[in-house]
Chains A and B, each alone.
Chain A
Amino acid sequence: MEQFSQAMIIGVSLGAQYALLALGFTLIFGILGVVNFSHGGFYMLGGYVAYSCVYHLGLPYPLAVLAAVFATGALGYLFELVLLERVIDDHLSTLMLTLGLYLIVSTAVLLIFGPVSPEFPFPVSGAWRAGPIYVPLENLVVLAVCVCAIAGLYALLFSTDLGRGLRALADDRDVAMAQGMRPKLLFPLAFALATGLAGLTGALVTPILSLSPSVGDPVLATSFLTVILGGLGSLGGAALAAFVVGIVEAYTSVYFGGSVGALVLFILVLVILVFRPTGLLGREIRGA
């Protein structure tokens, strides 16, 4: 029973991490119509920025996490404003640009930091115990920060004019522009928001898992899987799917082992998509 409960807590913690990544990924797709192949790169970069701030600049870890958020957000903002904006309506070009950015960033990190994973332990250690249940404190800290970030994102999107504008652009860009929305002003902000979330996740999670120049690859795959399962462009779907993926991954890893766990996850997603091709909360695209 304790194994079952622990797996649930780890699954929820994983789900919160995946939710942050998937929400950013689906924000970019929903608002800009861009599949961001560099999303994993921003996660990896967030980890390296936090690592550098702690070990080279001597900053405390919380400040390092903030620095990672701002650095990845700023890079995302500039990337959208200077490069992506020019080809925003050309799906193939945006795909190539984001993929190119990922390759450039990961190669630069490889050249600067080398291929070996740096020593970057999470600053909080120990465990929370309740009877037979044992949960590492680092998981709880990450879970708490992720939940706060998700709540903050929802508050931004649903309670502010900026959020209303972003959601309006995601709903229908032409109608939003006819109502006075300025995509060129909001697209870089949306991109920065999403990449900042990826950077935050990277800064929080890489000290627990691992940090290397290639750590963005599986993150991109998981983000893809999650947003497709949730329904492309659906914020609620992405969040729900992230927790489904996290919990399924935790249980299958605990009971069947890592590789079987991934197999179970992919089969589950396949079955769900057969019966709900638009994903858990996705909607059919309205035709002309």
Chain B
Amino acid sequence: MAGDELRVEGLAKRFGGLRVFHDINFRLPPGEILGVIGPNGAGKTTLINVISGRIQPSSGQVFLGGRNITGQPSHALSRLGVGRSFQQTNTFRSASVRENISRAIRFSRRSGSAVGLDLLLRDFQLTDRMNEQSDKLPYGLQKMLGLAMAYAIGPQVLLLDEPAAGLERGERSRIDGFVAHVREHGGCGVLIVEHDMDLIRRLCPRILVLDAGYVLADGPPAEVLARPDVIKAYLGAGDEDEV
């Protein structure tokens, strides 16, 4: 399963007079892992929401594999191969683990692209609990289930919104395993919005820093995180030690 390149050109979003972000440009080639960081309110989740079709952009364009997908609703983008996860543990909570992933595979209608159910359950260590109702799972497994559902549609590009949020430090290695699996088997581009800098450093060979609605920096973590303007904007002038 090879992915398509995601290309974002001049993307902007305003809510009335409030500008969330402006003139966002980047490319995410297949197989690349791109981390998006920035202070709270920088527009990271809104960026995912716009790219995935949950909300409409104010201007700018989004391309997937050269095809203009700007403003299409999320169900249409899902069928084109835009997979996404949510900050919260968004699963179908009245359904079993198996049913959750099964629905993702069925609904996507991406015949030939969707991933096999048994394979997903096995690879994401959910086989033993596949008959449990999803909201009865521990929080960490619910997050993994949400990621597995996003991956189950057989995405061309995968957008992960704070996958490590709410996880214990020990549980965060699951995210590493998930991304490694996607990189190995999926070949699609992965965009990760995350506050956990250790995780971003481990997983992302390239990061994009959003600040006050603009792209402040775009490049390798070592280079970007050493920039004084990034340290000042995102990490605070006195927090260099945490970088």
Q: A174-B86, A178-B84, A179-B149 are in contact. Are A286 and B93 (CB under 8 A)?
A: yes
Mark each residue of chain B from 51 to 78: 1 if its CB lies under 8 Å from any CB of chain A, else 0: 0101000000000000000000111001
A175 at interface, CB cutoff 8 A: yes
B107 contact from A171, A172, A181, Cβ within 8 A: A181
**Interface size of A in residues (CB-CB distance below 8 Å):** 20
Chain A's nearest CB lies how many Å from the CB of B104? Answer: 5
Chain A's nearest CB lies how many Å from the CB of B155? Answer: 11
Mark each residue of chain A from 28 to 43: 1 if its CB lies under 8 Å from any CB of chain B, else 0: 0000000000000000
B88 at interface, CB cutoff 8 A: yes
Category for how many chain B residues contact A: 20 to 34
B108 at interface, CB cutoff 8 A: yes
Query: Given the complex of chains A and B, what is the CA–CA distance between A181 and B108 in angstroms?
Result: 8
Say yes or no: A180 contacts B109, CB within 8 Å.
yes
A176-190 with Cβ < 8 A to chain B: 176-183
Task: Give chain A's interface secondary structure class.
Answer: helix
A153-176 with Cβ < 8 A to chain B: 161, 164-165, 167-168, 171-172, 174-176
Say yes or no: A180 contacts B107, CB within 8 Å.
yes
Chain B's nearest CB lies how many Å from the CB of A165? Answer: 7
A288 at interface, CB cutoff 8 A: yes
Contacts of B73 in A (CB 8 A): 177
B91 at interface, CB cutoff 8 A: yes
Say yes or no: A180 contacts B95, CB within 8 Å.
no
Say yes or no: B88 contacts A167, CB within 8 Å.
no
Query: Given the complex of chains A and B, what is the CA–CA distance between A227 and B95 in angstroms?
Result: 21
Mark each residue of chain B from 101 to 142: 1 if its CB lies under 8 Å from any CB of chain A, else 0: 001101111100000000000000000000000000000000
B150 at interface, CB cutoff 8 A: yes
Say yes or no: A179 contacts B153, CB within 8 Å.
yes
Q: A161-B106, A164-B106, A165-B107 are in contact. Are A182 and B75 (CB under 8 A)?
A: yes
Contacts of B52 in A (CB 8 A): 178
Say yes or no: B90 contacts A180, CB within 8 Å.
no
* Residue from B78, B94, B99 whose CB has the most chain A CB atoms within 10 Å: B94
Contacts of A168 in B (CB 8 A): 92, 95, 103, 107
Residues of A in contact with B (beta carbons under 8 Å apart): 161, 164-165, 167-168, 171-172, 174-183, 283, 286, 288
Task: Please give me the 10 A-B residue pairs with the lowest Cβ-Cβ distance, nearest first.
Answer: A180-B78, A171-B92, A180-B107, A179-B107, A177-B74, A175-B90, A180-B108, A177-B75, A179-B104, A182-B75
Residues of B in contact with A (beta carbons under 8 Å apart): 52, 54, 73-75, 78-79, 83-84, 86, 88, 90-95, 99, 103-104, 106-110, 149-150, 153
Selected A-B contacts with CB under 8 Å, 16 pairs: A164-B103, A168-B95, A172-B90, A172-B91, A174-B74, A175-B92, A175-B149, A176-B107, A177-B54, A177-B73, A178-B54, A178-B74, A179-B107, A180-B75, A180-B79, A286-B88
